[in-house]
């Protein structure tokens, strides 16, 4: 069940600026466009009024087969420091790359995605799902049905808009922008039925667009339409209200809205010396990954963070020394680096962008920005020879700031589209935040299905990618592929049942992994580890915990020697303690039979119907006294 705004779900208010040539335009039903003003000036005004994000859409890009927004995005990013989403004419990976380099944070894709749905997955795997917004222009056709249109509402597709939105989510899109063509520009309110249907069906945020004419309309979209974010255009372009007043009214109505102070021009106050990434705990030298350049310097840095004194200097003196050294923004091929540079310039800081490991090694302060997928980020750092200099900088106590993907890369590992080792500067791992953590939607029971498939998978050669040491469990973006695995017919059966191992060997891998994505061997085994953990969790929550008070879970067998599986089980079964049984493997069967014999001597049932498939509790076996 989705959170509502009253339950703490903060809603974003996003001014939408449709652009034709050099101007912001506005029409009705995406037609009859009128010039409203300069895009950069309007974006700055709305930013200063408290916009949570800005949306630029080139309204004629698809018609003419090009996107003219790059100069506008570059100019806007110099003054506007909230997320900037750009859409219209985004057709290729190169288009996305250029927009991000120009200063965009996200891109909205419509026509190209409809014509080539795998383009969504390709973009997500390269830039991360948080960067990819699928834009859908929907027109009402009949009761309960809307058609998805392309080319700014000019071309019919015959596709059901709701079904297309769900497909886009399965392909990994991070958000869906739904524009009601019927309501767009009318000021009569959002299409609440359309928005609500998508919001209730999708596991990703839904942005409502088209029809806002008053504060009440926006309230309705949030409360009745269950939108995660709302786009506003006419209500602001025609100065019916300011964003500041609009958001205050929404907050007064009890909605969770992010209020901001006036964002006027700031004076140059200089850049903070103590440029440190917020972290749960910086790792000690003994815990940092192998091949760490300088353990001694790390110990000194950790001592500095704990005691505020290093090499006889106070923490302030220590950091001031670094502040005199260069500030470097690390370029590893991903992200909107120029937005970071413009923010630094606005603060009066002198910085440079560099992919040179020597420049990073000389830096006194380091910023690692980035927009993209974890694996691609680490690949970019590795190919540029930046891993060693960054770890050494952290070990020497140099201030490091990670932004977005850059912050994720500071962790030990990331599990976006496979397990990937991170820089290991901060203890922990990066996982996808699930909107809802439902219980009871996994398989009926079992360790064996994943083990059986894993046994087959382990015989397959690892054609692609490098081995991931220690094994792993894979969290796909939004767990969408994981949910597909859990829909296998075996998992949908109710107990009692028995395991047909033939269903979970080569055929299982072919039918699922071959269809979902191209996984190498380590990622395949990682996914099966996750499947194992979630199936065990589901069995406990559906069949055991409702009837029994469990004080502790003991794990034995081969799975207990998999540290990743054990970590997952501890996370999923909290607050129940999960421990590894110290019972020798050869003694386990004897202990189980002794328990069964004891129950039989007492005349009590000693079988487990869920596991054995028996029709009910039975006394099994016969005890003969010698």
In 3D space, the residue among 96, 88, 94, 136 whose CA is nearest the CA of residue 114 turns out to be 136
Strand partners, 328: 352, 366
What SS3 class is residue 35?
strand
Strand partners, 133: 108, 175
What SS3 class is residue 14?
strand
Residue 355: what pLDDT? 92
Say how far apart CA 228 and CA 230 lie, in whole Å.
Answer: 7
> 281 exposed, middle or buried (CB, 10 Å; 0-12, 13-18, 19+)?
exposed
* Catalytic residue (choose from 18, 58, 184, 481): 18
In 3D space, the residue among 194, 125, 184 whose CA is nearest the CA of residue 164 turns out to be 194
Task: Decide: 13 and 232 in contact? Cβ < 8 Å.
Answer: yes
107-145 b/e with 16+ CB inside 10 Å = b?
Answer: bbbbbbbbeeeebbbbbbbbbbbbbbbbbbbbbbeeeee
Strand partners, 137: 149, 179
Task: Decide: 80 and 128 in contact? Cβ < 8 Å.
Answer: no
Strand partners, 281: none
DSSP 134-180: EEEEEEEEETTEEEEEETTTTEEEEEEHHHHHHHHHHTT-SEEEEEE
Residue 138: what pLDDT? 92
In 3D space, the residue among 312, 259, 303, 261 whose CA is nearest the CA of residue 285 turns out to be 303
Query: What secondary structure letter does DSSP report for 433?
Result: P
Q: Which two structure tokens, joined as six digits, stand for 519?
A: 């996984």
* Catalytic residue (choose from 53, 137, 413, 488): 137
Residue 468: what pLDDT? 31
Task: Decide: 313 and 320 in contact? Cβ < 8 Å.
Answer: no
Say how far apart CA 474 and CA 440 lie, in whole Å.
Answer: 20
Which residue matches tokens 């409502």?
Answer: 208
Which domains, ranges and CATH numbers included, belong to the chain? 10-252 (3.20.20.70), 285-430 (3.40.50.880), 448-549 (no CATH)
Residue 163: what pLDDT? 93
451-484 b/e with 16+ CB inside 10 Å = b?
Answer: bbbbebbeeeeeeeeeebeebbbbbbbbbbbbbe
Cα angle 380, 382, 384 (rounded to 5 degrees) comes to 70
Task: Decide: 539 and 572 in contact? Cβ < 8 Å.
Answer: no
Q: Which residues of the chain have pLDDT under 50?
A: 1, 3, 5-7, 265-313, 315, 318-319, 435-480, 515-516, 518, 611-612, 626
* 137 in catalytic set: yes
Say how far apart CA 4 and CA 226 lie, in whole Å.
Answer: 7
CA 405 to chain centre: 10
Residue 549: what pLDDT? 80
Say how far apart CA 510 and CA 504 lie, in whole Å.
Answer: 10
Residue 233: what pLDDT? 86
DSSP 513-567: HHHH----HHHHHHHHHHHHHHHHHHHIIIIITTT-----EEE-SGGGG-HHHHH
Say how far apart CA 429 and CA 323 lie, in whole Å.
Answer: 29
Could you read off the pLDDT of 20-55 as tens digits, one per residue? 888 888 766 555 567 778 888 999 999 998 999 999
CA distances from 596 to 191, 265, 401 (A): 63, 77, 59
Strand (E) or helix (H) holding 579: strand 578-580
């Amino acid at each position: 069940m989705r959170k509502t705004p009253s339950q703490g779900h903060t809603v974003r208010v996003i001014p939408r600026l449709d652009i034709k040539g050099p101007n912001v335009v506005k029409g009705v039903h995406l037609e009859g466009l009128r010039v409203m003003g300069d895009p950069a000036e309007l974006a700055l005004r709305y930013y200063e009024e408290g916009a949570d994000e800005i949306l630029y859409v080139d309204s004629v890009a698809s018609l003419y087969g090009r996107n003219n927004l790059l100069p506008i995005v570059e100019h806007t990013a110099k003054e506007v420091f909230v997320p900037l989403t750009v859409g219209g004419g985004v057709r290729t990976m190169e288009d996305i790359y250029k927009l991000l380099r120009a200063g965009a944070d996200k891109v909205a894709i419509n026509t190209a995605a409809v014509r080539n749905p795998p383009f969504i997955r390709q973009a997500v795997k390269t830039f991360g799902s948080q960067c990819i917004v699928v834009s859908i222009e929907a027109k009402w056709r009949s009761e309960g049905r809307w058609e998805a249109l392309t080319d700014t509402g000019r071309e019919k597709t015959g596709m059901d808009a709701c079904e297309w939105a769900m497909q886009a989510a399965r392909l990994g899109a991070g958000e869906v922008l739904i524009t009601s063509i019927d309501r767009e520009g009318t000021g009569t309110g959002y299409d609440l039925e359309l928005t609500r249907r998508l919001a209730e069906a999708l596991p990703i945020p839904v942005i409502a667009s088209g029809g806002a004419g008053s504060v009440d309309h926006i309230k309705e979209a949030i409360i009745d339409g269950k939108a995660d974010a709302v786009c506003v255009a006419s209500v602001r372009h025609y100065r019916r209200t300011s964003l500041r007043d609009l958001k205050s009214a929404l907050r007064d109505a009890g909605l969770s809205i992010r209020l901001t102070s006036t964002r006027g021009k700031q004076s140059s106050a200089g850049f903070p010396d103590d440029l440190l990434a917020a972290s749960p705990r910086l790792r000690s030298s003994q815990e940092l990954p192998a091949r760490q350049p300088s353990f001694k310097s790390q110990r000194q840095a950790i001592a500095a963070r704990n005691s505020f004194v290093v090499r006889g200097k106070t923490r302030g003196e220590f950091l001031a020394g670094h502040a005199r050294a260069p500030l470097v923004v690390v370029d590893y091929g991903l992200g909107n680096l120029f937005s970071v540079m413009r923010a630094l310039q606005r603060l009066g800081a002198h910085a440079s962008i560099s992919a040179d490991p020597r420049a990073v090694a000389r830096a006194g302060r380091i910023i690692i920005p980035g927009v993209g997928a974890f694996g691609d980020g680490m690949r970019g750092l590795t190919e540029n020879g930046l891993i060693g200099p960054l770890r050494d900088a952290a070990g020497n106590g140099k201030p490091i700031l990670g932004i977005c993907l850059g912050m994720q890369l500071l962790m030990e590992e990331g599990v976006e589209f496979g397990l990937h080792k991170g820089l290991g500067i901060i203890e922990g791992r990066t996982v996808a935040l699930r909107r809802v953590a439902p219980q009871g939607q996994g398989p009926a029971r079992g360790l064996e299905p994943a083990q059986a498939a894993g046994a087959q998978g382990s015989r397959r050669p690892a054609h692609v990618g490098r081995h991931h040491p220690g094994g792993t469990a894979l969290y796909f973006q939004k767990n969408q592929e994981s949910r597909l695995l859990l829909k296998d017919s075996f998992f949908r059966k109710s107990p009692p049942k028995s395991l047909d191992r033939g269903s979970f060997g080569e055929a299982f891998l072919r039918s699922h992994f071959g269809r979902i994505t191209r996984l190498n061997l380590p990622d395949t085994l990682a996914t099966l580890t996750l499947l194992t953990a979630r199936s065990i969790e589901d069995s406990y929550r559906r069949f055991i915990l409702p009837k029994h008070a469990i004080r502790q879970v003991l794990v034995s067998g081969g799975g207990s020697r998999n540290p990743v599986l054990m970590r997952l089980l501890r996370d999923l079964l909290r607050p129940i303690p999960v421990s590894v049984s110290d019972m020798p493997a050869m003694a386990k069967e004897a202990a189980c039979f002794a328990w069964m014999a004891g129950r039989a001597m007492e005349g009590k049932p000693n079988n487990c119907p869920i596991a054995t498939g028996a029709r009910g509790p039975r006394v099994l076996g016969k005890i003969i006294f010698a």
